[in-house]
Structure 1
Amino acid sequence: MRILAFTSEPEYYTPLSECPEHSVLFAEYQDPRARRLWVACAPQLILLDVFRLGSTADALFAEFESLWPGKIPPVLVVCPPQGWEIAHQWLARGAYDFLIEPLNCRVVSARLTAIQKHLHGPGVASLSAGEHPSAHASREGTKSEAESSEESATFPRETIVSEAQTSSPLDDDNGRGMIHIESRFFHDRESLFQTIFERAAIGLVLADFDGRFVRVNRAFAEWLGYTPEELEGRQIAEFSHPDDVVREIEEFTILVTGEKDGIVFEKRYRHKDGRFLWGRLHVLILERYSDKRGLGFAMVEDITREKDVAGKLGEMEIRWNKLLDNAPDLFFLADAETRLLYVNKITVDELTMDDVIGRRCTTWIHPDDQEVFEEHFRLALETGKPQRFVDRDVFGCWWENRLVPLPSSDDAVVLGIVSDITEQVQ
């Protein structure tokens, strides 16, 4: 297929010229001196990258009409990531099909092959508006390749528009891109995806490998105080907490390089009013077009309240620990086997916290009082009522014990509050 490619980035499409089935001429639309060359190459398809095109659809098609009166080659439009509306404008004006960036040349080549089969199939010349070539073929029979090629050059404009308007951005033979499918099922599937994306209560984001918002749903945009249009095309880092940017890049790099299929991490987003909101991101690669181009998909869960509660609990824990550390009494937690789970302080210089945690409470109780401790401990668990008694430890000190059973979803736990009464006894 002879292709006339209008693009400001010809290196992006260069691999197409390496395909033996395609002959590609790259051109700049802004170069008026090349008009004769465009016509002379007799293109069978125009590939139009509208990024930085600098011209409207109406102006460009008027130019094409002057160059190819009544015989404009089919136009395949390549639109920027946020260019769905742009694509439909071009389709309405007369484009044959469109692709949304980011993409790779394999995707483009596959699309060109599909278009070539469609255009050069038998019997396309006398199609009525919106009629599929296969319907005509079944009535008229197979024509020669030369006849088909000649007739495809005069493919009616109204047929092109009708076909393009009924196309759907769904999977082609290679599992990517867009092909012309008139099945209601596929149209309904696309409509269903659009509905789910827009109406989902959770934030949904499409981003490219350069860290830009390609598309966001309304729930995500409103969460940050914006409209989707205000976010799309902008760098994600603009809306990230400065302390989270480096880690976010590291996490996304792990995903892009293929070390993991999906990642989950938490970060802060800057709201439009300046405050920061916490989000938990579930991210995966939706499409990978090359090492540097692709699409990532993220579900963003609002965990701001969860973080606020956790922060307050953390503050309360710090205050509680300070209170316990400075309390005159000894506090401990023990399981049903009297093993120590927590002790607020160690009263014996020779012992460390590692020496105590996990050991039985009776380890340091005087042998004559061990049965007394174990009996009151059992009664606290069985009756659910606090127990109060006095015992001695192996170091010769006297203690007043208050054992309080605590409700627990797992193993039984007893809180012990122990006061030194050695001086009073003596």
Structure 2
Amino acid sequence: MKDTITVTFQETGNVTSPSGFQASGVAAAIKKPGRLDMALIYSEKPCNAAAVYTTNKVQAAPLTVTREHIAAGALRAVVINAGNANACTGEQGLENARTMATKAGIALGLKAQEVAVSSTGVIGQQMPMERIVAGIEKLSQSLSNEGYQAAEAIMTTDLVPKTGKVELSIGEQKITIGAMAKGSGMIHPNMATMLAFYTTDAKISKPLLEKAMKKATKVSYNMISVDGDTSTNDMALILANGTSLAPAIEAEGPLYDAFEKGLIELSVHLAKAIARDGEGATKLVGVHVKGAKTEEDAQKAARTVISSSLFKSAIFGADANWGRILCAIGYSGADFDPSTVDIYLGDIQTARDGEALDFSEEKAVSILSQREVTITADLKNGQAEARAWGCDLTYEYVKINADYRT
């Protein structure tokens, strides 16, 4: 690869940014009347596909169907609904998920196995299939190059849609990766109630697509937490239709590295957007653990801190209680020496070698009162580092989840 490869991220993109993709979003009365609640992504060409799913042992019917269809070969479409998770619904739920794929296939002139299925919403309720089928017909008739209604349609308690794109420039040729995601509650490391859908016009082999997707998920969606709950429906799925005129990505090397870098950057953007939009949240919180012996140690420590209810409550109250950070690292399972750890709240060092320092409480409160807060823990035990993202734990979070079904 002689050409210089540049990677450029843009928040304004979506799943229709790559060539050969269309999308739509409609109101099918699955949620509140008038709310967009069904989405469709469609490719003009067959796509290599890869996906990463929730680690919860309780998994929704759409995940089973999507796994089967990806294993069977190329995909052309994804049909998604909000308002009903189709989880814990037995054989009827599985039949309903298959029906969604079949009906979408008929509407688009595809085989059922060319359609992936995804759902999000309330667990334990059977799907309103008459409305679902009618929604699929409306979706197929309203496909366009504008992808933003699709991003809005997959939202549940989200306050804002989450989209973006990355462009790889290789000489005069270009590869685009577009994406949309949803997530606000039931967010915890190892994925969460979050869905993410990526499209790309890259010509990339299925094994390399799977490798890039796993790597991107590891450092993004597996490093966020809102409330410590891992959902039954989580899915991050990518479709690659190969319509770009750029060189094919058939082996590891500079072009694959650039693709992976772009996918990671886009995934981290979406993961942070999910954390920022956490239910009831007032602050985006980033935890940077450095000086760890291994990347696994750094990830364990960062994930545990960002998941701590005590820590998240302190952030909500702008309480400079740095001891909760060191405490969480202590039970994270990471290998470190507590007597060497330095803690920073923003740019204020509050602890050195595991012991308190004098610092300005007033300045600390000012830092912790900002919309974005960064915490740093230096374990001074090696060269590895990791970042995790989350939000504060507020009164509003309890209110939202106390009456979620009503």
Greater relative contact order (CA < 8 Å, ≥ 6 in sequence): 2
Q: Does TM, scored on the shorter chain, surpass 0.5?
A: no
Which is helix-richer, 1 or 2? 1
Structure with more strand by fraction: 2
What TM-score results when the alignment is normalised by the length of structure 2? 0.25
